[in-house]
Amino acid sequence: MVQERITDRPANRLNGSGRQRPAPGSSTRAVHGGARRRKAYGALTMPIVQTATYAFNDTQELIDFMDRKTWGDGSDREEYGRYGNPTVAAVESKLAALDGGEDAVLYASGMNAVTSLLLSVLSSGGHVVMTDDCYRRTRQFCLTFLKRFGIETTIVPMGDYAALEAAIIPKKTRFIISESPTNPYLRIADLEKIAHLGKKYRVLTLIDSTFATPVNQRPLEWGIDFVLHSATKYLSGHHDLLAGVVVGQADRIRALRDARGVLGGVVDPQNAYLLERGIKTLAVRVAQQNRTALAVARYLESHPRIERVWYPGLESHPDHTTAAAQMRGFGGVVSFEVAGDLETTGRFIDHLRIPYIAPSLGGVESLIEQPALMSYYEKTTEERLALGIKDNLVRFAIGIEDTDDILDDLEQALAAIS
């Protein structure tokens, strides 16, 4: 059966002998991964099961269902919308197949995935080690919300694995949280080292892989326990919905799904459908975004009006070697510093015709932002510098427009401020 061929195969790196047929590629997984061949009504696409609850024909059917749920190994039907939905389940299987995990659980947003995972696993008195440069709201959740429940967080510099190891408190640390690539400097975590430290100290490891997508990087193949994505970004790919996902081992994901039934962060079936539809083109979109981003990074690096370019595909990036070893592509985001101040940088952005000025990334439309004005507006130049955010920094999240059109657009905007 196609379903088994595509979902139940171990990840590439774990195949071992090399005599097995290789696992399907990203685009095949994106289109067919996790999908059942037979769907209701013989529909080719997964129907949107737009219901809040599920009815039983009679009391006996209810009793049979409860028996199977309580004493058997699950059931093939649903009971109530907060506990499950077939359209949502279809997306979850596809996401598990894409990341090479056993199962996946979908949430209402990326932050909902982060908070639900941490609330489900951590208890008071616990401890988290996190690399700096992590998503700002994830950091905020750990440093303020979790702290109120007696869970401490130690932040260590990205790339300093001795500091990371030293920060682990045996029997107390439950989680190592990192992100790769990070925002906005696109730092790359060494997944093998983090997984090794997790196993050595029996600490769970989590990688927020949103910027990479399963096309460019699969942390589970390196021994990471949980991979998380804001599906709002590349996975959905069209800037039209919010969702988040956690992928990992079946028993752990089952526990998270049970906790979701309590915490309540479910995705609407409509959005689940749109997400699945978006994912089918993930690999072709990301291939185009990887290609354009590398061309943009190289072009900007050679331009006299650009002071510095941050892109893991460039040899000048501090983590290029790690990126080249563990990624299949370097992603669609390029950060760079314009030669000039806050105002000149804003003028450059205003001269661009293709990208929208907007937060977020990963969709078909290119988006551009000056982090000093978007995410750090309330801070002074000095406060921003202390956080590593320069006034002239630009984050360019590349869409699927033609590479040459994007290069031409950059050229005319740079000429306009020269």
Ligand X SMILES: *Cc1c(COP(=O)(O)O)cnc(C)c1O
- Pairing type for strands 127-131 and 152-156 reads parallel
Active-site option among 187, 218, 233, 390: 233
Q: Which residues are CB-contacts of 79 (< 8 A; sequence separation ≥ 6)?
A: 53, 54, 65, 69
| Closest approach of ligand X to the CB of residue 257, in Å | 19
What DSSP line would sit under 158-198, residue for residue?
A: TT-HHHHHHH--TTTEEEEEEESS-TTT-----HHHHHHHH
| Closest approach of ligand X to the CB of residue 160, in Å | 20
| Closest approach of ligand X to the CB of residue 183, in Å | 6
Given the complex with ligand X, which of 65 and 310 has the nearer CB atom?
Answer: 310
135 is catalytic: yes
Q: Check: CB of residue 180 under 8 Å from CB of residue 189.
A: yes
Q: Is 396 helix (H, G, I), strand (E, B) or coil?
A: strand
Active-site option among 82, 280, 298, 308: 82
Element of type H or E holding 104: strand 103-107
| Closest approach of ligand X to the CB of residue 383, in Å | 22
Q: For every residue of 22-53, which 3-state class applies, written as one string?
A: CCCCHHHHHHHCCCCCCCHHHCCCCCCCCCCE
Sign of CA dihedral 64, 67, 70, 75: negative
Active-site option among 29, 94, 133, 135: 135
Q: How many angstroms separate the CA atoms of 331 and 114, rounded?
A: 22
Please, which residues bridge with residue 394 across strands?
A: 336
Given the complex with ligand X, which of 333 and 400 has the nearer CB atom?
Answer: 333
Q: Which amino acid is at 318?
A: P
CB-based burial label for 131 (10 Å; 0-12, 13-18, 19+) = buried
Enter the DSSP assignment of 10.
P
82 is catalytic: yes
Structure tokens, 234 = 């590349």
Given the complex with ligand X, which of 111 and 146 has the nearer CB atom?
Answer: 111
Given the complex with ligand X, which of 232 and 345 has the nearer CB atom?
Answer: 232
Given the complex with ligand X, which of 27 and 109 has the nearer CB atom?
Answer: 109
Rg (CA), the chain: 22
Structure tokens, 256 = 């998270």
Q: Is 262 helix (H, G, I), strand (E, B) or coil?
A: helix
Given the complex with ligand X, which of 194 and 413 has the nearer CB atom?
Answer: 194
| Closest approach of ligand X to the CB of residue 179, in Å | 6
Place of tokens 């991979």: 227
Given the complex with ligand X, which of 24 and 184 has the nearer CB atom?
Answer: 184
Q: Check: CB of residue 108 under 8 Å from CB of residue 263.
A: no
Q: Check: CB of residue 269 under 8 Å from CB of residue 50.
A: yes
Cα–Cα–Cα angle for 177, 85, 256, rounded to 5 degrees: 25
| Closest approach of ligand X to the CB of residue 141, in Å | 10
| Closest approach of ligand X to the CB of residue 203, in Å | 21
Q: Which residues bind ligand X (CB under 6 A)?
A: 109-111, 135, 179, 183, 208, 210-211, 230, 232-233, 242, 244
| Closest approach of ligand X to the CB of residue 105, in Å | 15
Given the complex with ligand X, which of 375 and 403 has the nearer CB atom?
Answer: 375
Please, which residues bridge with residue 179 across strands?
A: 208
Active-site option among 99, 133, 190, 208: 208
Residue with the shortest CB distance to ligand X: 110
Q: Report, as residue numbers or ranges, the catalytic residues.
A: 82, 135, 208, 233
